[in-house]
Structure 1
């Protein structure tokens, strides 16, 4: 009896020891795969965490006399890769294990810089049939790819037509890849191919012959190793991977998921988005829009050169021309005068920015805070004409109101779009701009005063600056002017700052509007949150670094915000300059709004205006200012 018990104990101990040994061996094997994969990712795509000196430049970005060429502006851009991920969804996989495979490919994707101009991703699934879940052109960031993998890629079950999947990948995906893109395929399977039209070994060789680098993953004991070896690129050791079980694949996900960033640190990804590191992964990544005057020379040059390339070079130009023309076509269809003004232009800036990021994913649309330059807006460095460093938009028209002949958008070298008859860019700088206190007056409006906020922002501030810049900016063709997006970026920032005052401000008016805006598939609600834009895009605006010069004092934005209206008026009795007649007529401002302007200006700005036939003249009556 005792001997039998001792024997049973020995068997249990030996079984446990064997299990532990096998588990340790599997873990060691999984760790070896993880190390190899980590090296592979770094070799293929580089580091997803960006080098800030490459992203933003510094004082040493240009040596004395060095000019900012295209090669200088776009240097250090993330590698261009077309990445296809192919998942076996045959009957032997099962729904639960298929979800493990999906989580694994999410971790693969997190090691690539997903963008139109960097890594483009397509996903294919196969069983008895082959499905192209989405192609290279659908997503502009990893968040969008991962969201759709979770939501859209479903398990089906069936046979294992691996050869047919490889044929589709070759004929419909990589055949469309640009010549300068590296072509990479990750294929993941748990078994041997069967029931197919095309031979997997032949199709894999055709892919490799066309320059595709194939990484093959086999899971479990049913994998046919010779077939996996034939599919993978050489050297096999660096391109073929095996794990014993789906549980090991899950463990592998945890091992390869980290980028190495410090937890909770603020970092920038390789496309310049500002992210928060969470347990080694980049999260909450946002495009950062800056005041143009706060950008480094390299950032300014990169932006201007991206605009020039998008507006003059195919394949970008066709999309650029179409987008610019939309604003002119829809000018009087509700995108101005309240109905959709703020959300439509928020969408428009995003669409424009997406085109520029096809040129360079590090580009975001800057804004120009003209309120900081209000006394002399046209001596601002925004308008410098340096054709060496490309750090400004060029000067006034020559003569004023005529064609611009200085800077990167000068005639005859740069022209407007076909919808504007390929005319020259015109400017007619005149007058002054609303100042910082006027902006704060608008921001002080409550949700109950939304109409005042909107009319003050659109008619008094937005329309006035359009007309003060003059030329192309004062007409239907205004979106052709590069400064259009600087101006509208600041208008959008003002709206965003108003929304940040509280949830009732963010979920007000436009939030409740779910009707499609003119020329888009999006409603105001789709774009009302700046941190939840279409395509899984998040945006933030950096505050300007420059102080506001008012009444002989240099004040921060927070100091101005802390003042009462009467205190601000004592500093500057005329926060809003004369409102030109064109600010009303050129934008088709309805007479119902024109008649309300005196009342709105008194309530918002504490000033009296008188509407005349030629101009809306600002006149202050001190004893009627409200505190």
Structure 2
């Protein structure tokens, strides 16, 4: 049966409560932290050795589609009626937007230590203790807009810049690719300062705190951001039906240079699953967006 992922702004109070309760139950059972560890393990940058599948690579979109599906299935084992909502950050752009209400994601971190003090994921409520992180504290941190170095959420025009590109990805297939939809959506550029960050990356920077770096899954808003990114890939495919839905088709040959063995081609498998990007080009038989 095909289920629906909804815009978080259109969730009912009951839907918010069920989603949050399922999140808290996964955390209580220790399953949530397994997802944090998976993301940390596969957050491999351009400068690191080995295969890149999650970021700075063509498989950014199919890898996170599968990651979201695994997480959603875990939620549905708790409550079959739950699905991951998405956050349209081109519309809901303010700290007072519905996503940051006490019934969903909770608010910003306090100024002194960036600790989130409101909502279901506040450490003071005792239900959300950070165990897999890159900081000393065990509380969730946010720093909306990074006041010390201000940054804004992506605009509709910045997103449109990415959506216009008809090519899925281009060489060198990493964070330095100046053309191609994947990197423009992921958001790595050669800009200076905050102009370096676009779209998906800019969202992580704007939320701040735990949303920075490989341990970003510690903040549950990670899933709402990536559900929107997943939706955008679907919209891009509909907008460019004659474009190859994934590139590269074939892996770089042995002896071709530093890219050999570092990226996943269309018909190669992505760890930690035995699944290929080609198997994740469509979600229509599993879920839809409303």
Q: What TM-score, normalized to structure 1?
A: 0.37
Q: Which residue of 2 aligns with 1:342?
A: 61
Q: Give, in whole Å, the separation in 1 of the partners of 2:278 and 2:73.
A: 20
Q: Which residue of 1 aligns with 2:211?
A: 473
Q: Give, in whole Å, the separation in 2 of the partners of 1:394 and 1:405.
A: 8
- Do the aligned partners of residues 447 and 342 (structure 1) sit closer, same or farther apart at CA in structure 2, a change above 3 Å counting? same
Task: Indicate yes or no: 2:242 matched with 1:504.
Answer: yes
Q: Give, in whole Å, the separation in 1 of the partners of 2:241 and 2:139.
A: 45
Note if contact 2:144-2:208 (Cα within 8 Å) is conserved in structure 1: yes
Q: Give, in whole Å, the separation in 1 of the partners of 2:245 and 2:169.
A: 15
Q: Which residue of 1 aligns with 2:139?
A: 424
Question: What does 1:278-289 correspond to in 2, within 5 Å?
Answer: 285-289=1-5
Note if contact 1:442-1:457 (Cα within 8 Å) is conserved in structure 2: yes
1:458 deviates by 0.4
1:339 deviates by 3.3
Unaligned stretches of 5+ in structure 1? 1-284, 386-390, 533-537, 543-627
* Structure with larger RCO (C-alpha < 8 A, sep 6+): 2
Note if contact 1:382-1:393 (Cα within 8 Å) is conserved in structure 2: yes
Task: Indicate yes or no: 2:108 matched with 1:396.
Answer: yes
Note if contact 1:384-1:393 (Cα within 8 Å) is conserved in structure 2: yes
Task: Indicate yes or no: 2:21 matched with 1:305.
Answer: yes
Q: What TM-score, normalized to structure 2?
A: 0.77
Q: Which residue of 2 aligns with 1:514?
A: 267
Task: Indicate yes or no: 2:89 matched with 1:366.
Answer: no
Q: Give, in whole Å, the separation in 2 of the partners of 1:417 and 1:515.
A: 34
- Do the aligned partners of residues 357 and 444 (structure 1) sit closer, same or farther apart at CA in structure 2, a change above 3 Å counting? same
1:521 deviates by 1.3
- Do the aligned partners of residues 416 and 522 (structure 1) sit closer, same or farther apart at CA in structure 2, a change above 3 Å counting? farther
Cα shift readout 1:414-457 (whole Å, capped 9, x = no counterpart): 33453338821111111321112222232121137764311210
Note if contact 2:141-2:210 (Cα within 8 Å) is conserved in structure 1: yes
- Do the aligned partners of residues 516 and 417 (structure 1) sit closer, same or farther apart at CA in structure 2, a change above 3 Å counting? farther
Q: Give, in whole Å, the separation in 1 of the partners of 2:139 and 2:130.
A: 9
Aligned residues between the structures? 242
- Do the aligned partners of residues 354 and 510 (structure 1) sit closer, same or farther apart at CA in structure 2, a change above 3 Å counting? farther
Residue 283 of structure 2: which of 517, 521, 530 is its match?
530
Q: Which residue of 2 aligns with 1:324?
A: 36
Note if contact 2:166-2:180 (Cα within 8 Å) is conserved in structure 1: no
Question: What does 1:2-21 correspond to in 2, within 5 Å?
Answer: none
Cα shift readout 1:390-436 (whole Å, capped 9, x = no counterpart): x2211111226521111100013133453338821111111321112
Q: Give, in whole Å, the separation in 1 of the partners of 2:15 and 2:5.
A: 11
1:472 deviates by 0.4
Q: Which residue of 2 aligns with 1:250?
A: none
1:481 deviates by 0.7
1:324 deviates by 2.3
- Do the aligned partners of residues 404 and 348 (structure 1) sit closer, same or farther apart at CA in structure 2, a change above 3 Å counting? same
Which has the larger share of strand? 1
Unaligned stretches of 5+ in structure 2? 45-51, 146-150, 171-178, 188-197, 250-264
Note if contact 1:334-1:518 (Cα within 8 Å) is conserved in structure 2: yes
Q: Which residue of 2 aligns with 1:539?
A: 287
Q: Give, in whole Å, the separation in 2 of the partners of 1:416 and 1:329.
A: 20
